């Protein structure tokens, strides 16, 4: 049973370009979370999605960032017009998800975005 | 506003001795707490968790203690091994944040180094 997969593992972009980060959850998991880790900091929640639905995007910057989790295919975190401050490690986690109870989140290896 | 704090950025311990990692929180609504371990260039790996209805949970060499009145939890590793050297993150979940999202709020991490 493959774990959470993220690609690419490393992504280099110049300022103003777009970054697309992909996440395939564990088999059987329908809930996806995106977290961002800035240097020397802990992980910060960005967005929570279920298939075809954004449930909570309270941690997402208001501009340039978007996320989706289509019916088919991986979840995508998209950053438009990247700036140097977007340089960070972006982690995806998945869980089976049952409302009202806690379900352990399993993390992928992360995508390290570097903006030149 | 940091709701989960790990005040020690680093800790060094001799192999075979006890490692104690500490975590404080401010949100009294947190009802589930977790410890994750992270190696460089990898995603966080779940280690152990505890529900707020308990004050102790043990799994092999790892024990987590929760003191709700002090809003404090700690992770004990006994005996410590060189392979335990990693960054340890404390995380907490609030059942009332964003419905069933169950996002995790992370501390900034403690780098544990176990010396042979």
**Cβ contact B98–A109 (<8 Å):** no
Q: Measure in Å the smallest separation between the Cα of B12 and chain A Cα atoms.
A: 18
Q: How far is CA A18 from CA A13, A35, A36, B22, in A?
A: 7, 18, 17, 39
State the pLDDT at residue A103.
65
State the pLDDT at residue A101.
54
Residue A112's nearest CA partner among A76, A82, A85, A87 is: A87
Residue A108's nearest CA partner among B85, B93, B45 is: B45
> Which helix (H) or strand (E) covers residue A10, if one does?
strand A10-13
pLDDT in tens, B85-97: 999 999 998 876 6
- Chain A residues in contact with B109 by the CB 8 A cut-off are 42
Is A35 in the B-facing interface, judged by CB distances under 8 Å?
Answer: yes
CB within 8 Å of A21: residues ≥ 6 apart? A6, A8, A11, A76, A77, A78, A79, A90, A92, A111, A113
Indicate the residue of B4, B101, B106 with minimum beta-carbon distance to A48. B101
CA atoms within 13 A on the CB side of A17: 13
Q: How far is CA A78 from CA A14, A55, A84, in A?
A: 15, 17, 15
Is A26 in the B-facing interface, judged by CB distances under 8 Å?
Answer: no
pLDDT in tens, B26-82: 999 898 999 999 998 899 999 999 999 999 999 999 999 999 999 999 999 999 999
* β-bridge mates for residue A44, sequence order: A36
Q: What angle do CA A80, A85, B9 make, to 5 degrees?
A: 135
Which residue numbers in chain A have pLDDT < 50?
A: 100
pLDDT in tens, A76-101: 999 999 999 999 999 999 988 655 45
Indicate the residue of B42, B89, B103 with minimum beta-carbon distance to A33. B103
CB within 8 Å of A12: residues ≥ 6 apart? A113, A114, A115, A116
**Cβ contact B41–A91 (<8 Å):** no
Indicate the residue of B32, B98, B109 with minimum beta-carbon distance to A102. B32
* β-bridge mates for residue A5, sequence order: A24
- Chain B residues in contact with A91 by the CB 8 A cut-off are 43-44
**Beta-carbon count within 10 A of A10 CB:** 12
CA atoms within 13 A on the CB side of A113: 30
**What confidence tier does B113 reach under pLDDT thresholds 50, 70, 90?**
very high
Q: If contacts are CB pairs under 8 Å, which of residues 45-104 in chain A contact chain B?
A: 45, 48, 55-56, 58-59, 91, 93, 95, 97, 99-100, 102-104
**Cβ contact B43–A108 (<8 Å):** yes
């Amino acid at each position: 049973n493959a774990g959470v997969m993220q690609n690419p593992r490393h992504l280099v972009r110049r300022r103003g370009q777009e970054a697309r980060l992909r996440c395939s959850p564990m088999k059987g998991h329908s809930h996806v979370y995106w977290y961002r880790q800035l240097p020397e900091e802990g992980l910060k929640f960005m967005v929570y999605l279920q298939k075809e639905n954004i449930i909570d995007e309270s941690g997402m910057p208001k501009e340039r960032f978007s996320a989706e989790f289509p019916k088919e295919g991986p979840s995508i975190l998209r950053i438009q017009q990247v700036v140097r401050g977007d340089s960070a490690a972006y982690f995806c986690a998945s869980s089976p998800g049952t409302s009202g109870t806690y379900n352990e989140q399993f993390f992928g290896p992360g995508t390290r975005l570097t903006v030149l | 506003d940091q709701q989960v704090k790990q005040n020690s950025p680093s800790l060094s311990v001799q192999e075979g001795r006890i490692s104690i990692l500490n975590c404080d929180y401010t949100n009294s609504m947190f009802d589930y707490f977790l410890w994750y371990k992270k190696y460089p260039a990898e995603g966080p790996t779940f280690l152990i968790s505890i529900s707020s209805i308990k004050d102790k949970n043990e799994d092999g060499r790892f024990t987590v203690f929760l003191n709700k009145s002090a809003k404090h939890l700690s992770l004990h590793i006994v005996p410590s091994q060189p392979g335990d050297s990693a960054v340890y993150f404390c995380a907490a979940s609030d059942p009332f944040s964003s419905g069933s999202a169950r996002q995790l709020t992370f501390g900034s991490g403690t780098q544990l180094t176990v010396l042979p």
